[in-house]
Amino acid sequence: MATKVQAGNSIIETIKTIVYALLIAGVFRTLFFQPFWIPSGSMKETLLIGDFLFVNKMAYGYSYASCPSVKLGRIGIDIDAEDICGFLDGDNTRLFGGTPERGDVVVFRHPVNNSDFIKRLIGLPGDKIQVKNGVVFINDQAVELKDAGDFEEIFERQGPQGRHPACETNTAVGEGGICKKSRQIEILPNGVEHAILNIGTQRWDDTGVYMVPEGHYFFMGDNRDNSTDSRVPQSLGGVGFVPYENLIGRADRIVFSSAGRSMLFFWTWRGDRFFKGIK
């Protein structure tokens, strides 16, 4: 009998340990840092497919979007942040709110489909934004650009989605060949410098004027011709303007990076990107 009681107590203690660990992890993820895996190439070369980072949630304070979402389709679990903290939604405010700065790389919730996106903050509340011939104008002033040669990568399937990268439109590339993109350094009005990539004239290289509403932000991907961002209206599947309360946090540093279709493929790890700062 004693053996059965001891075994029963051991199982109960194990369950308690697991529950406590999950609660601690949930609190840590909600208040401090959220892991994020880069699934697409919209932020190249700043962020590559397979980069793994932690998002600093303390940077901008907390809203309903700070609550974690738990999606495990294989076992039927689909718990959205709004299901947990939806009572905080609707007023576009934050607890201990911090002010995002132009040039920050930010993870946010899409205003319509609630997916997590990562882009660079280009437009602040009240800004006038327009893109002309691929150049960003902020409040009628063109951002400064400096040529920075070409960005090169292998033309092959990348990441879990297995998609090929987009290459310069005038270059024919076969499997395993060199895929090139034009690279420039973009200098924002506050002095933030970062690389942007282009592959030629595309639809969103010339836009109308965007007036960023109060309490909202305008985001763009660094890989300008391969990014669905605030240039694209929500009615066309884009991001549009992002409310303040939808910000999740700021991406400051890459922790780990794998060029393969799984992080377990150690031979594809990018050792030069471990703990690399994000600019």
CB 180 within 8 A of CB 152: yes
In angstroms and rounded to an integer, the radius of gyration of the C-alpha atoms of the chain is 21
Q: Mean per-residue pLDDT for 51-71?
A: 86
Q: Mean per-residue pLDDT for 144-158?
A: 93
Q: How confident is the model at residue 139 (pLDDT cuts 50, 70, 90)?
A: very high
**Higher-confidence residue: 68 or 232?**
232
Q: Mean per-residue pLDDT for 175-191?
A: 95
Residue type for 20, please? Answer: Y
- Which one of the listed residues 42, 182, 227, 257 is annotated catalytic? 42
Q: How confident is the model at residue 34 (pLDDT cuts 50, 70, 90)?
A: confident
Assess whether pLDDT exceeds 60 at residue 171. yes
Distance of CA 183 to the CA centre of its chain: 20
- Which one of the listed residues 40, 44, 63, 119 is annotated catalytic? 119
Q: What is the mean pLDDT of the chain?
A: 86
User: What was the pLDDT predicted at 14?
Assistant: 54
Is 119 one of the annotated active-site residues of the chain? yes
User: What was the pLDDT predicted at 10?
Assistant: 61
In the 8-state DSSP scheme, what is residue 155? Answer: -
Cα 221 to Cα 16, 63, 181, distances in angstroms: 43, 24, 15
Q: Which of 240, 221, 216, 222 is nearest to 230 (CA)?
A: 240
Question: Apex CA 122: angle with CA 45 and CA 236, to 5°?
Answer: 85
Cα 156 to Cα 42, 44, 161, 178, 224, distances in angstroms: 16, 15, 12, 9, 20
Assess whether pLDDT exceeds 50 at residue 50. yes
What share of the chain has pLDDT > 70, as a percent?
Answer: 83
Q: How confident is the model at residue 230 (pLDDT cuts 50, 70, 90)?
A: very high
User: What was the pLDDT predicted at 24?
Assistant: 47
